[in-house]
Amino acid sequence: GPALLFVKTSQGKEEGRRFYACSACRDRKDCNFFQWEDEKVSETRLAAREEYNRNHQPSLTHRQNVDRYKNFVLLPLSKRRFCQECQQLLLPAEWEKHSDHQFLCGITTAQLKSPSQLLYPLENKKTNAQYLFADRSCQFLLNLLIDLGFRRVLSVGTPRLHEMIQSKASQEEFSVRSLLLDIDFRYSQFYTEDEFCHYNMFNHHFFGGEAARETCRKFLCEENGERVIMVTDPPFGGLVEALASSFKKLMAMWREAEKEGRDNKEMPIFWIFPYFFESRILDFFPSFSMMDYQVDYDNHALYKHGKTGRRQSPVRIFTNLTPSMIVLPEEEGYRFCTVCQRYISSGNQHCEICNSCTSKDGRRWKHCVLCKKCVKPSWFHCNNCNCCTLQKHSCEKTEVGCFVCGKAGHKRSACPSLSRS
């Protein structure tokens, strides 16, 4: 899809040269697209680029994959094979072509309904970073959505939540539906065009064109846009600015359901992201609050619930719903703070001076009178730096100014020059 416009800056210089690069891949080894904004591209290079793009398209369309799936489920269990190397469901006529590959036999209906466990997770941190919710977090999210009265879930990059909803769809008393938007085209083997859209959340690009965009719009606008929520779990290395831009465009789609009186309203959202991105998210969505619930993942070594100290999962839920509505499980130690009117973790103590439950990482934070705020328990006030920091730190680092303008007192992300441009 469309590239993003970046700027290459030098220390102490406000002006930088702008360039286009891939929106999804941050490593040139995965996608080597690069073009200066003011560069004139020759016809030969444009033709070569088009040829490259054509050669890197999926071999089958979404419609062809859906037809193949229909034929696959009709096969007896003994003839259901999945190629692990090609990550593809195999029909008997294709066995010979994959004869020297590793494959799984006897693919059950339960496996077909849980494709995230059948497919290898794409764990390249600079491209896909496909970490999957643990059952604990997935079940909690689904129960919470049901308790809040939502009946449609736009699952943006949350395949495991989507498949949990899909697997329960046949139950009579279950009335929640989901539409998965994901950049992983392998899911088109398991879901119809009404259940999955090939989508890039960094540039709001629907690979299926206008038909896929319309599928998403209709899903959001059913019942005049009521009882729908977006749940998103982006790669943590992704640019918050790009993600926020796409999410605002999805909100604009939702507003089309009923233009009267909805101009200033926001579609309900659960944005799942590490707590240390809180200030960046609030820059773009001031109405959001961060919940204390620790989201954990099956295939991530560090992001696990139940660990202590700094080993706890840093991933949280950011939402524009009223915090008091988000009920967190008491059996896991969460409790309600009547002053803050929200559920907090067991280690989060209300600070009378800040008048807030200030902990972000699950540990009990302490108040620094000089800094006039609560800080991490491992931090101490440094008189040279005039702020709280780790005990073993180098004071010289504080003399280095902003990377963009060279001035002291702020970081690159908060540079006034950057926000002006």
User: What is the reported pLDDT for 420?
Assistant: 44
d(CA 234, CA 271): 8
d(CA 317, CA 315): 7
**Which tens digits make up the pLDDT trace of 319-344?**
999 999 999 999 999 999 999 999 99
Instruction: Specify the DSSP class assigned to residue 42.
Output: P
**Which tens digits make up the pLDDT trace of 303-319?**
555 554 456 788 999 99
Biggest alpha carbon–alpha carbon distance for the chain: 74
User: What is the reported pLDDT for 398?
Assistant: 47
- Helices 159-168 and 135-147 pack at an angle, to 10 degrees, of 60
Q: What does the DSSP assignment read for 361-380?
A: SSSPPEEETTTTEEE-TTEE
Where in the sequence of the chain do the CATH 3.30.160 domains occur? 62-107
Percentage above 90 pLDDT, the chain:
63
The yes-or-no verdict on residue 421 having pLDDT over 50 is: no
d(CA 382, CA 394): 10
3-state secondary structure of 200: strand
Residue 280, phi-psi category: left (phi > 0), alpha (psi -120 to 50), beta (remainder): alpha
Whether the CA torsion 102, 107, 111, 115 is positive or negative: it is positive
Pick the CATH number of 135-346 from 3.40.50, 3.30.70, 1.10.1740, 3.30.460: 3.40.50
Residues present in the chain in total: 421
**Which tens digits make up the pLDDT trace of 187-232?**
999 999 999 999 999 999 999 999 999 999 999 999 888 999 999 9
User: What is the reported pLDDT for 124?
Assistant: 54
The 10 Å Cβ neighbour count of residue 172 is: 5
pLDDT-based confidence at residue 46 (cuts at 50, 70, 90): very high
Q: Say which residues have a Cβ less than 8 Å from residue 205's Cβ, sequence separation at least 6.
A: 1, 2, 23, 199
The yes-or-no verdict on residue 64 having pLDDT over 50 is: yes
Instruction: Give the tokens for residue 332.
Output: 């896991």
User: What is the reported pLDDT for 385?
Assistant: 87
User: What is the reported pLDDT for 309?
Assistant: 47
User: Taking the complete model, does pTM exceed 0.85, yes or no?
Assistant: yes
Where in the sequence of the chain do the CATH 3.40.50 domains occur? 135-346
Q: Say which residues have a Cβ less than 8 Å from residue 397's Cβ, sequence separation at least 6.
A: none
Beta carbons of 181 and 247 less than 8 angstroms apart:
no
**Which tens digits make up the pLDDT trace of 230-289?**
999 998 888 999 999 999 999 999 998 765 556 678 999 999 999 999 999 999 999 999
Instruction: Specify the DSSP class assigned to residue 40.
Output: P
d(CA 49, CA 382): 54
Q: Choose the weakest-confidence range: 35-39, 79-83, 296-300, 332-336.
A: 296-300
Instruction: Give the tokens for residue 1.
Output: 């899809």
Task: Find where tokens 């010979």 sit.
Answer: 96
First to last CA, the chain: 24
62-107 CATH: 3.30.160
In sequence order, the β-bridge partners of residue 318 are: 271, 290
- Burial status of residue 334 (CB atoms within 10 A of its CB: 0-12, 13-18, 19 or more): buried
Geometric angle at alpha carbon 297, from 296 and 300, rounded to 5°: 120
Q: How many CA atoms lie within 13 A of 331 on its CB side?
A: 2
Comparing CA positions, the residue from 146, 171, 267, 260 lying closest to residue 216 is 267
> What Å distances lie between residue 241 and 28, 117, 248, 279, CA to CA?
21, 31, 11, 12
User: What is the reported pLDDT for 411?
Assistant: 64
Q: What is the mean pLDDT of residues 56-84?
A: 94
